[in-house]
Amino acid sequence: MGLKQVVGQRLLEIDLPQGSTVEDFVAYMKKRWGDKLSPHFIDPHNNQVHPHVRIMVNGQTIQFLNGMQTLLNEGDEVVILPLVSGG
């Protein structure tokens, strides 16, 4: 089961308080969907986003912004992409 199946839809609008970060967004996701979401998204050993999952804010990966401390503003689009590979 993937993230879309856990959340129940492809697109979701979430209201977070002013000054929230990507870390706050991830905490909200964990709180709302709990154990159904965490194995697909969060490493239970270090509580970090799995390395095969990319989080983007307004089309830029957070690794090129301020990581999990990237500030979110009203209207920002956060995309969660599980990396896929194949041949």
Q: Which residues pair with 78 in a beta bridge?
A: 57
C-beta separation of 61 from 22 below 8 A: no
What are the pLDDT digits (tens) for 9-52? 556 788 899 999 999 988 888 888 777 766 767 777 777 778 88
Q: Is 81 helix (H, G, I), strand (E, B) or coil?
A: strand
Domain that holds residue 67: 3-82
Q: Is residue 87 part of a domain?
A: no
pTM of the predicted model over 0.85: no
The number of beta carbons lying within 10 Å of the beta carbon of residue 41 is 19
Q: Residue 19's pLDDT is what?
A: 93
Instruction: Name residue 71's beta-bridge partners.
Output: 21
Residue 20's pLDDT is: 96
pLDDT, one tens digit per residue, over 44-79 is 777 777 888 889 999 999 989 999 999 999 999 998
Confirm whether 8 is domain-assigned. Answer: yes
Number of domains within the chain: 1
- Residue 33 forms part of a structural domain: yes
Q: Which residue has the tokens 């970060």?
A: 21
Q: What is the end-to-end Cα distance of the chain in Å, rounded? A: 22
